[in-house]
Amino acid sequence: MKLGRAALALLLLAPCVVRAVEPISLSLALAGVLTTYISYPRLYCLFAECCGQMRSLSREALQKDLDNKLFGQHLAKKVILNAVSGFLSNPKPKKPLTLSLHGWTGTGKNFASKIIAENIYEGGLNSDYVHLFVATLHFPHASNITQYKDQLQMWIRGNVSACARSIFIFDEMDKMHAGLIDAIKPFLDYYDVVDEVSYQKAIFIFLSNAGAERITDVALDFWKSGKQREEIKLRDMEPALAVSVFNNKNSGFWHSSLIDRNLIDYFVPFLPLEYKHLKMCIRVEMQSRGYEVDEDIISKVAEEMTFFPKEEKVFSDKGCKTVFTKLDYYLDD
């Protein structure tokens, strides 16, 4: 669990909150304390988040968040809406839900995972039951891959034991050492129980830039043929995207058993954003900061961004990632 809960709860119940990414030694040391106060769930839940207090997912609320906050991603929105709502409405899923989100930086992958977390737990990414792993931060050294595998299994086992509906987000999969992610293969498979723990209600989300070239190629082909991007179907991308990621030596999914054994439920493509989508991002950001929408400023910020390919200049090369800092310049002017 994560730190930062009510001070009174900590005084009453002892400092036993454990983050998923803390050292395993600390997690194990505190496990006994956790067992002690778990006998008093009503008292504990008055002061801190409890697994049983997760939100009852509203499909309508999730769709509204996706529509209002995620732009230019009709495929991702449809897949996420159907996959997450369907999974959570199933009382006895056969396996954990696994989503692999792919696309260029700034297209909305991290934002989509944030929306999912917020619609399941009130604390969103700060919830005790949502765990974020960043490849370059948590698994930096190739020489330690064996140690990382052991730690990763223990972290996931411990958190799912505490809450079956745990969410695990793996960012920068394209920077993860090949073979490391295969350590969690048993947890994603069609097993009722693994070492006395059931993982069937957990959610695993992988974020990666790998496969972005393939996604862009399809989107550009549609644009050149005069078709609307909304005409792109998942079947136009998903099979080739899975193969592209599997064969990418610079991806954490390179020759991964997770793909080979079909344990990833959906490969979700995030399309490169166009000029109009950048304007949508800027407009919403202005509104969220309490500013009156100024279309002149919105256009100026969007026009400062760079686009590709070199000749056509159709897609933004950074998406919505840097528009907010550009916006700061005009709002402070």
Average pLDDT, the chain: 89
List phi, psi (to 5°) of 312: -75, -35
103 annotated among ligand-binding-site residues: yes
Residue entry with tokens 């989503």 = 99
Domain count, the chain: 2
* pTM of the model as a whole: 0.86
Q: Does residue 28 sit within a domain?
A: no
223 labeled binding residue: no
Q: What is the DSSP string of 54-71?
A: -----HHHHHHHHHHH--
63 and 146 share a domain? yes
Cis bond upstream, residue 269 (ω within 30): no
Whether 133 is in a domain gets the answer yes
First-to-final CA distance of the chain: 43
Length of the chain: 333
Coil/strand/helix, residue 199: coil
**Residue 107 annotated as binding site:** yes
Report which residue type is found at 230: E
Q: What is the pLDDT of residues 256-292, one digit of tens each?
A: 999 999 999 999 999 999 999 999 999 999 999 999 9
Is 6 inside any structural domain?
no
Q: Is 126 annotated as a binding residue?
A: no
Q: How many helices (H) and strands (E) does the chain have?
A: 15, 7
Residues 6+ apart with CB under 8 A from 140: none
pLDDT digits (tens, 9 = 90+) for 19-63: 444 555 555 555 665 565 555 556 667 777 888 777 789 999 999
> Stretch 83-110: mean pLDDT, rounded?
97
- Tokens 């709502």 label which residue? 85
pLDDT at 120 over 80: yes
Q: Could you say which of 214, 245, 268 is where a domain stops?
A: 268
- Domain range holding 293? 273-330
Predicted local distance difference test score (pLDDT) of residue 45: 77
Judgement on whether residues 97 and 214 belong to the same structural domain of the protein = yes
Between these two residues, 195 and 39, which has the higher pLDDT value?
195
In a domain, 32, yes or no: no
CATH number at residue 180: 3.40.50.300
Residue 140 pLDDT greater than 70, yes or no: yes
- Is 119 annotated to bind a ligand? Reply is no
Annotated binding-site residue? 149: no
